[in-house]
Structure 1
Amino acid sequence: MTLVNDYVHGYSAVEGTRLGDQAATLTELLHADTRFPPGSRVLEAGCGVGAQTVILAGNSPQADITSVDISDDSLAAAKQRVDEAGLGNVEFRQADIFDLPFPDDHFDHIFVCFVLEHLPNPTEALAALARVLKPGGSITVIEGDHGSTYFHPDSEPARRAVQCLVDLQRQAGGDALIGRRLYPLLVRAGYRDVHVSPRMVYVDASRPALVDGFTRKTFTAMVEGVGDQAVGQGMMNEADWAAGIRDLYRTAEDDGTFCYTVLQGGRTGMTR
């Protein structure tokens, strides 16, 4: 399967909105160098609700983009986003990353964003993607690392709440710390000329769009969304959880700061 059985963040409308906020907020950080030449074939693997798709398609209007996901509901939401944006260069396909319905050496470029963190076997996923990538083509893989999070004012309950998300994702078969593993994962999967670039999201009151879009609506909302699971499993009691979430929101006030690192891995060729 493309995704673990239990996507830790859920498939609610609220989560779809959060993903859209995340993509919009981090557009420059994540997509400054993901523009593709006219006529190139691009595979977006694990497109979800299309939060990244509309940015990819808008940045490369003359590229032919194929976006796949295992979930029909997510694909329907992604198609709606693309249609509403007036973009005509995307084809959606229901497909499993591990069993892609495309011939060998089919795509010029592959884009994978916030997908590997939810897979129990990311090396195998990268190897499966390599089959459909032309020799000499490129891959872009973007993942976060929740262990890179730090903030002011510091808070022990807030740090515990973030760790609950890490632990819950591990239980579901994923890895919320996968960003630090991108280089060895790509190399182990057979890619060469691998390069990993850290992209730091630093937020303070001088960057109000990031305060709202990232600290509040992306990261804190993501942690807050697993509260029922964390409290239900006894990872934190209800009062401590509420304090942790309150303290994460506190970092978005005028004297607060927040920092998180996203890592982008890529390559230009294959060993095969």
Structure 2
Amino acid sequence: MPNKLSTQNIHLREERSILVLLHGFAENSGIWNVQKEYLSEYFEVIALDLPGVGNNPLTTALTIDSMADNVYTSLQSAGIEKAVIIGHSMGGYVALAIAEKYPSILQGMGLFHSTALADTEEKKEARRKSIKLMEQYGSEAFIRQAFPNMFSPGFKAKHPESVEAYVNMGIACPLASMEAYYEAMITRPDRTAVLSSIQVPVLFVIGKDDTAVPLQSVLPQVSLPRTSSIYIFEETGHMGMWEVPTASNQLLHQFTLFCQDQKL
């Protein structure tokens, strides 16, 4: 089922680049609200709900590829032929699938605390255990345990209200969607070859304190694309858009302008 974007009246100005923002696991498009507010002055910014949350209900079996199909269909239905697509965490996996399946729509791509690697066997097993815990004790208990760890220790101590807001966002995600997301991530393929062949600029945003997508696992990937932009946030975990919003805004602004200026 296409995202509701396809049924909305979107007035696109031809001279402005289009920036599409994709959220991660158990999040929704609201994760990008601060970025959308700032960047909308310069670009057409579209923050999408992936299937399973918000305006995009879960109606079929889910894979990373099916989510990529959903995003692509939504953008095509809205008459969008080129866009810079940025994905946070799981949203980055979706962006990579779009790059593999529908490369012509990309003007640029960003992996915001994300990776092209497939899950390790240890990671797959951890996700399966998490699914069992959610089924046994409910998703809220799992979210309250896991989500605060997405932030750096310093930010978590100084901004408990932001951590609680993120936890509440996760609690709002249906259990069925969380389980489907984890299954989709478990079965996703390694897409480092996509980075090697991609023809548009790629942005890598890395948090030095990110335990979900560690710095050392991403660094070997940054040399694979023809054109890479790399930014490492100090004292930042998995949530750079919330932990360092001003820097994130400026980084996405600069990268989108760079993609806009490329003659590929």
- Tell whether the structures are fold-level matches, with TM greater than 0.5: no
Which protein is bigger by CA-based radius of gyration? 1
TM-score by length of 1: 0.36
* Normalised TM-score (structure 2): 0.37
Larger relative strand fraction: 1
